[in-house]
Structure 1
């Protein structure tokens, strides 16, 4: 009888140790160290250092990234650099400390972000850049040809001002961020086309960081100094809509054409309403989806192209109704 009791005690102790060991295993819902529901593989943790959350384009870019990460069972940790390169470099270090597997980076500055890239390299973390490239080599860049987007806007501006070889008028250009690669490409591509027209003069406005409120203030001063303006070209729709606001208040919308970039639904609706001439398509939701898919492939050791092109196109009165949906922040081209 004593032997039986002793055996029961040993058996109970062993059983309790087994259950204790099982309960110490993390569940799939416990964060980055857990398993995916699909089969026990470690959940991939993606760090995303975003340049800013002030622009609707960048907000939608993150939304697209979150949706794709959720779809593929990955964890996405997003940090907002607030257009501050020192904060971005610190944010990346923080993401590395959190234990990310791969880094998505939308650089505030293509050269000053080197400390962040160096920190990632030292931690053996691959980097995928999105929207804005860096000068340093990374695993992949997911974006669009911003110089080509500038060319498309330039061709449309020339057509609106009288056509190739005949165009005349004054253009006010609302520029993005000082020194930014996207800004320079959208500037250079536009000038490459429009500068061929001797009858067209371009007035370059101050940098408004792609933010509508800054563009409103800048354009108020520009319009006062250039009341004979014929067309506004803005490096994104948010700034162009700021110009539209000022022109509407000045009762000049019927005299001035507006061309922007991004395909913001508010701008597409303005095209339908006859208040806005055209926008060059740059869907951020699709871009967010593509960059997360690319980052996951990189994290798994799969081969990806160094440049992944998200595609572009022109939205004007001929197709605005086809791509517009009032429920979407950005137009969705078929």
Structure 2
């Protein structure tokens, strides 16, 4: 079975959902859909600075190769950026030089990219925003993302239950974005119901292994008793583990990451690390689905539903095999 087929089995945005979404599509003008002679689709995404964005880049290029082969009148241009300023500049080039008519964007940061995306939309570019929402939703036509509320809620419920509502916790957040805010708000909302759980501190570590290592070093220096570290990302979780090992700390009982990377899932499945017991799914394949849905809708002259959310699941040793794909890029 191919990587694409195997991932499609796992996620909601499979063939059945795509068909359902097509039925729900709004027409381009007054109830009548007009097929486009050609579509120039721009894809703007972060560069592969860590494992998850590496998966984003891989899936975006998979979509380009497969969709351009299937649709000769479709041209997809993929741009990767190492930061918000570079992404904003690339976006301007996509609009003015490449002259795209449709855009799928995974914003590097929410606030910094909102105005550039708004400018593209004002020039009649159809905009699908993926994962990291904009601060002004009117800048987009459609929004496709994983369930960030569940991404924060699931580990919080798991920790609260496993530790009987009593634990000292530190947390590592990602990059200041709407999705990180959603995750954090959902996590803390659960914890507020358990006064015996103390969140000692939370800091941004940019979904980066090295940054997570440094942030964890600081936590370990300042706090002498920590039960659980919520890393909120698998790359960050491995940075956390390195810091714990280097500090020779034995008080920490568990590290909870996020996103269901194949390395993390394999570790949980094998039980090979005593600090890793669970994770939450959040596959980078949603960029592939977003590109496919947007391209096929625009080729028909249709629009996507305003919002589409992909559910997340708790991954444990009991069900890890369902989330492990050895040939996946992440």
TM-score band w.r.t. shorter chain:
0.7 to 0.9
- List alignment gaps of at least 5 residues for structure 1: 1-40
Aligned to 2:201: 204
Which of 171, 174, 182 is residue 173 of structure 1 equivalent to?
Answer: 171
| Structure 2: gaps spanning 5 or more residues | 1-35, 69-73
Q: Distance in 2 between matches of 1:181 and 1:253?
A: 35
1:304 to 2:299 alignment: no
Query: What is the alpha-carbon distance in structure 1 between the residues aligned to residue 104 and residue 196 of structure 2?
Result: 44
Say if 1:51 and 1:80, in contact at 8 Å, map to a contact too. Answer: yes
1:69 & 1:176 partners in 2: Cα distance?
A: 28
Deviation (angstroms), 1:93: 0.5
Residues 1:268 and 2:282 are matched in the alignment: no
Give the whole-Å Cα distance in 2 for the aligned partners of 1:198 and 1:114.
Answer: 37
Are the equivalent residues in 1 in contact too, given 2:109–2:175 (CA < 8 A)? no
Distance 1:114 1:320 in 2: 37
Residues 217 and 243, structure 2, Cα contact 8 Å, conserved in 1: yes
CA distance in 2, matches of 1:106, 1:322: 27
Match of 1:104 in 2: 104
- Cα RMSD of the aligned pairs, angstroms, is 2.0
Task: Check if 1:59 corresponds to 2:60.
Answer: no
Indicate if the aligned counterparts of 2:54 and 2:329 stay in contact, CA closer than 8 A: no
Report the counterpart of residue 120 of structure 2 in structure 1. 120
Match of residue 220, structure 2, among 220, 223, 228 = 223
**Partner of residue 319, structure 1:** 319
Structure 2 residue 130 is the aligned partner of structure 1 residue 130: yes
In the TM superposition, residue 253 of structure 1 has moved relative to its aligned partner by 6.3
Contact between 1:266 and 1:329, CA under 8 Å: does it hold in 2? no
Give the deviation of 1:132 after TM superposition.
1.0
User: How many residues of Structure 1 are paired with residues of Structure 2 in the alignment?
Assistant: 283
Q: Which residue of 2 aligns with 1:152?
A: 154
Provide the secondary structure at the position in 2 that maps to 1:262. coil
* CA deviation string 1:100-153 (max 9, x = no partner): 231111123323323322331233111100111112321211102212210011
**Alpha-carbon distance, 1:168 to partner:** 0.9
- Rg bigger for which structure? 1
How far off is 1:75 after superposition?
Answer: 3.5
Larger RCO (CA under 8 A, 6+ residues apart): 2
Q: TM-score, normalised by structure 1?
A: 0.79
1:242 aligns with 2:244: no
CA contact (8 A) 2:42 2:104 kept: yes
User: Are residue 291 (structure 1) and residue 286 (structure 2) matched?
Assistant: no
CA separation of 1:148 and 1:325: change in aligned 2, threshold 3 A: closer
**Matching residue of 2:26:** none
How far apart, in 1, do the equivalents of 2:264 and 2:184 lie?
Answer: 20
Task: State how far apart, in whole Å, the 1-side matches of 2:250 and 2:281 are.
Answer: 22
Whole-Å separation in 2 of the counterparts to 1:221 and 1:118: 39
Equivalent residues of 1:46, 1:76 under 8 A apart: yes
8 Å contact from structure 1 (residues 50, 79) kept in 2? yes
TM-score (norm 2): 0.80
Q: 1:253 to 1:239 in 2, by over 3 A?
A: farther
Counterpart CA distance in 2 for 1:213 and 1:200 is 27
